[in-house]
Structure 1
Amino acid sequence: MSVKNVIDRSLKVLAKQYPKAFIKLALGSVENMVFETIENPEINLPERRLDFVYGLTDEEQEYILHLDFQLRHEADLPERMHIYNALLTASNKKPVISKVIYLERREYRNLPQEYVVSY
């Protein structure tokens, strides 16, 4: 098994066991928030396994938090995250917040801040 797969699987286990820590890492706070783990998150077209997905409820609304763990930035990541977000929104009928958690210390100042669809 590759190192990438070991790390990916380990983070999925940790995210399942410690949801509060991962939600706080992604959003900065868990105050007044109720959360649940969404088991086996899957989206089709083609079938994709997502790293981790939580269902969240705060005082105002319900939404989905999608976490994607990456060793390093990949050029196609913004497009993939856009697709995952759109498909999760469509399948759950709730707004989705997608966050990437990078696992290597690197200079990340030059990462894209948005994804723009253009043809």
Structure 2
Amino acid sequence: MIAAAAMGDPNASIPTPQPVHYRPMFGSFGKALKTSVTFVSQAALENPAVAALGLSKPLVAVSGCRGVQKSDMVHNGATPEITVDPETYVVKAEGVDLVFEPATELPLAQRYFLF
């Protein structure tokens, strides 16, 4: 949910108005703050000063993150040996050439390009 976004002059009619400031978006109002959590350390969670801050988002203690490795990733656990020939720019993964044909169709590539 978007809490803040870089926005220029709201009355501008061109795509690059200056100056650009961060302005609150819909995710920073009302009960939207309760739809997500803020991860903090266990020590911060137990600190009474944190409770006195009056935060709207629920706080959740982080645990077991020091031992996380690439192999723990569900969909991205591969760590192949990547090499690039500096003269021919041929890219290889585990000794296999990575050669792909250029895309002939790019769906949604220009759908939201307005300027």
TM over 0.5: no
State the TM-score, normalized to the length of structure 1.
0.23
Q: Which has the higher contact order (CA 8 A, sep 6+)?
A: 1
Instruction: Pick the structure with more helix per residue.
Output: 1
Instruction: Pick the structure with more strand per residue.
Output: 1
Bigger Rg over Cα: 2
